Amino acid sequence: MEVLALNCGSSSVKYQLFDWTKGVVIARGMVERVTIGDSFIIHEVPGRDTYREEYECPDHKTAVHLIVKILTDKTHGVVDDMSHISAVGHRVVHGGEKFTRSILIDDTVLDAIKEVQHLAPLHNPPNIAGIEAAQINLPDVPHIAIFDTAFHQSMPEHAYTYPVPYDWYDKHGVRRYGFHGTSHLYVSKRAAVLLQKKPEDCNIITMHIGNGVSHAAIRNGISVDTSMGLTPLEGAVMGTRCGDIDPAIPAFIMERENLSPQEIDSILNKKSGILGITGEFTDRRDVIEAAEAGNKRCALALEIEGYRLKKYIGSYCAVLGRLDAVIFTAGVGEMGWLIREKALENLSHIGIILDLEKNRNTMTRKEETLITTTDSPVKVFVIPTDEELVFTEDVVAILEETYTDHMKFKYSFADSSFQRK
């Protein structure tokens, strides 16, 4: 059984083809600059040189067609034709309250996804475009939706309800939803294995830190709070998103700068965060290099990010009570030793004793590593995330009719015998 995972963004389409029988990735890649011109595909097959081809993709339909073309190409492809593919798993960023788990896509499901696209206007429309494009290019296989928000639907009402007029929730669905759910699910299950406990016996803080950043408080295996909210704008400092700010700031700046709602929304999402502070960088490696060279704004950005990460650890520790572990994942979380160090320094009073040497030597996206001392009451792990594996296992389970709530369903990576490939 071969499963294709698709992640359609506004200007890109990521893909991965997974051989479920052998348990290996056959191919992966990305079509970049979709809809904006000068499009190209990067195609990777284990054991081969990376292949790059320029191909104009004015829409997602063309991008998905290009992926099909490359996967079946006589020279660069990995399958003779698309009949080898058993199903397609689609990342959908926002499922609202309608979806608490992955689901087989039919017309009713697709209509429901469209009904909540106003809650994620930057993400859901390209997700929907990708689904429709894939249905055209692969009309004879099942298509499965995997939702970023689903993992966090276990939050209690007092955690997801905002202190604004309650009618906003009733009429418009204004509440905390949370995102990066598949990543938080994966690393929390792996953390339970590393702790040699069952997920239901673990209290964990998971910190997904990349260009987008979100954290989750996980009590007894389920999400009880998370940093992103109605949209992915709320929460920690991110690459280009502001995260938590005084809600009066947008209206104040709109009046002072004579900006429209669309303009201020664009600034908060695309020109704030690390980029807003430094004025030129989002990649933390660039920020660290510039800070070491004496750039004061880059040094400030690092201090702000570390400080706010520390605040989330403290607040979620208060929410959870007993804390077993903190997990760092995603690009910055896995590679950014300096940012981890700033977030974890002077936390011995809550049981976190960082091993500085281990932390500084942990810069890999392949290994699961303990970065606290052996006698640290609270363990801190760096765990490379694998959202595509979650996609694949959800798809296969739905096809085999074994899929259920994640606390009942047995993922392969939640087993002590699991090994990353």
| Bridge partner residues of 147 (DSSP) | 92
pLDDT digits (tens, 9 = 90+) for 203-232: 999 999 988 899 999 999 999 999 999 988
Count of CB atoms within 10 A of residue 144's CB? 27
Provide, for the chain, the percentages of residues in helix, strand and coil under a 3-state DSSP scheme, each rounded to the nearest 5.
40, 20, 40
| Domain match, 10 and 130 both | yes
Same domain, 230 and 122: no
Question: Where is mean pLDDT largest: 48-62, 67-81, 240-254?
Answer: 240-254
| Confidence grade of residue 419 (pLDDT, cut at 50, 70, 90) | confident
If you write DSSP's letter for every residue of 81-136 in order, what string do you get? Answer: SGGGEEEEEEEES--TTT-SS-EE--HHHHHHHHHTGGGSTTTHHHHHHHHHHHHH
Same domain, 135 and 217: no
What are the backbone dihedrals phi and psi of residue 238, each rounded to the nearest 5 degrees, phi first?
Answer: -125, -175
CA 242 to CA 233: how far, in whole Å? 7
Task: Clarify whether 148 is annotated catalytic.
Answer: yes
Tokens of 252: 């104040």
Report the mean per-residue pLDDT for the chain. Answer: 92
Structure tokens at 127: 């997700």
Task: Say which DSSP state 222 is in.
Answer: E
Domains of the chain: total? 2
Residue 152 DSSP code: G
What number is the average pLDDT over the span 263-280? 94
CATH value at residue 289 = 3.30.420.40
* Together in a domain, 139 and 220: no
Q: How far apart are CA 2 and CA 77, in angstroms?
A: 14
Instruction: Write out the two tokens for 292.
Output: 């070491």
Reported as a single tens digit per residue, the pLDDT across 11-69 is 788 899 999 888 888 999 999 888 888 889 999 999 899 999 999 988 888 898 899 89
pLDDT for 81-96, tens place per residue?
888 889 999 999 888 8
Domain termination site, one of 117, 147, 177: 147
Residues 137 and 218 in one domain: no
- Cα distances from 95 to residues 175, 215, 384, in angstroms, run 13, 19, 25
pLDDT at 138: 87
142 and 210 share one domain: no
Domain membership flag for residue 140? yes
Label each residue of 300-366 as H, E or C.
HHHHHHHHHHHHHHHHHHHHHCCCCEEEEEHHHHHHCHHHHHHHHCCCHHHCECECHHHHHHCCCCC
Residues 57 and 136 in one domain: yes
Q: What is the pLDDT of residues 141-162, one digit of tens each?
A: 999 999 999 999 999 999 999 9
pLDDT at 100 over 90: no
* pLDDT at 208 (0 to 100): 96
Domain check: are 124 and 6 in the same one? Answer: yes
Q: Of 115, 147, 179, at which residue does a domain stop?
A: 147
Does residue 19 sit in the same domain as residue 102?
Answer: yes
Q: How far apart are CA 294 and CA 212, in angstroms?
A: 26
Active-site residue, selected from the candidate residues 59, 148, 246, 405: 148
133 plus 204 within the same structural domain: no
* 398 within domain boundaries: no
* Domain carrying residue 233: 197-382
Using alpha carbons, list the distances in angstroms from residue 42 to 29, 30, 33. 5, 5, 12
Q: How far apart are the first and last CA of the chain?
A: 17
In a domain, 416, yes or no: no
Where would I find the beta strands (DSSP E) of 120-244? 143-147, 203-209, 213-219, 222-226
Domain boundary among 130, 147, 164: 147
Whether the pLDDT of residue 120 is over 90: the answer is no
For residue 421, name the pLDDT band (cuts at 50, 70, 90).
low
pLDDT tens profile 380-411: 999 999 988 898 899 999 999 898 888 888 89
Given a cut of 90, is residue 338 above it in pLDDT? yes
Residue 34: inside a domain: yes
Both tokens of 276, joined, read 């807003």
Place of tokens 């502001």: 242
Position 32 scores a pLDDT of 87
| Tokens (6 digits) for 206 | 């998971």
Element spanning 4, H or E: strand 2-8
Q: What is the pTM of this model?
A: 0.91
Amino acid sitting at position 22: K
Binning pLDDT at 50, 70 and 90, where does residue 250 land? very high
CB 120 within 8 A of CB 93: yes
Is 358 within the bounds of a domain?
yes
Q: Is the pLDDT of residue 379 over 90?
A: yes
Say whether both 246 and 124 belong to one domain.
no
Q: CB atoms < 10 A from the CB of 233, how many?
A: 20
The three-point CA angle 60-66-72 to 5° equals 140
Let me know if residue 344 belongs to a domain: yes
C-beta atoms surrounding 104 within 10 Å: 14
Residues 142 and 207 in one domain: no
- The sign of the CA dihedral 96, 100, 102, 108 is negative
Residue 168 included in any domain: no
Q: What DSSP string runs through 14-39?
A: EEEEEETTTTEEEEEEEEESTTTSS-
Q: Does residue 265 lie within any of the structural domains?
A: yes
